[in-house]
Amino acid sequence: MKYVLRAIPILAIVGMLVYLVTVMGTIDHPGKPLYKINCASCHGEKGEGIKKLVPPLSGTTYPMEHLDSIPCWLKFGMNHPIVVNGTEYDQIMYPVKLNAIQTANVMNYVLQELQQKDTTVSSKWVEEKWANCK
Ligand code: HEC
């Protein structure tokens, strides 16, 4: 009987841990809803892009190589020919209306979830880039 009683708190703690790990594992990245609303219609749910019209955000090194430019592209739009994975793209990306925190969140979603990179940008970093957009 004594052992059974002793086991109860231990079981309760183990149960809580299992619960936490399960719940945490299913919590979405904070940038995911922002991505779905502001980017997925063009770049695709998984960042696959659209044929020769919209470049992909997954399976390409382009975003990581142009990290510093992305905040300005999102704020002011983008309209110059670029080559991503050997395909030339030259359509307009219109500005998206996101503040610095949202921009950082959506960029982190692209980097961490679509690119599987261990990179995090902050809203302060986004604001620094915005101050120097050409
Ligand atoms: C209206 C469609 C559209 C929307 C919405 C859009 N993009 Fe784009 N995006 C484009 C197009 C088209 C280009 C290529 C522009 C060019 O060639 O000048 C592009 C280029 C890019 C690039 C650089 C190229 C690459 O493949 O890495 C990044 C990064 C990017 N977009 C991220 C985003 C993010 C993040 C969002 C959401 C916040 C977003 N875009 C929303 C159409 C869109």
Neighbouring residues of 128: CB distance < 8 A, sequence distance ≥ 6: none
Between CA 134 and CA 128 the distance in angstroms is: 13
Residue-wise pLDDT for 48-81, tens only, equals 999 999 999 999 999 999 999 999 999 999 999 9
Between CA 36 and CA 20 the distance in angstroms is: 26
List per-block mean pLDDT (blocks of 10 residues) for the chain, which spans 134 residues: 81 87 80 97 97 96 97 97 97 97 97 96 98 93
What is the Å distance from ligand 1's center to 113 Cα? 16
What is the Å distance from ligand 1's center to 26 Cα? 27
**Other residues' Cβ atoms within 10 Å of the Cβ of residue 104:** 22
109 lines ligand 1 (CB under 6 A): no
**Other residues' Cβ atoms within 10 Å of the Cβ of residue 54:** 18
Residue nearest to ligand 1 atom 33, measured at CA: 39
126 lines ligand 1 (CB under 6 A): no
Question: Alpha carbon 112 to chain centroid distance?
Answer: 6
pLDDT at 32: 96
111 lines ligand 1 (CB under 6 A): no
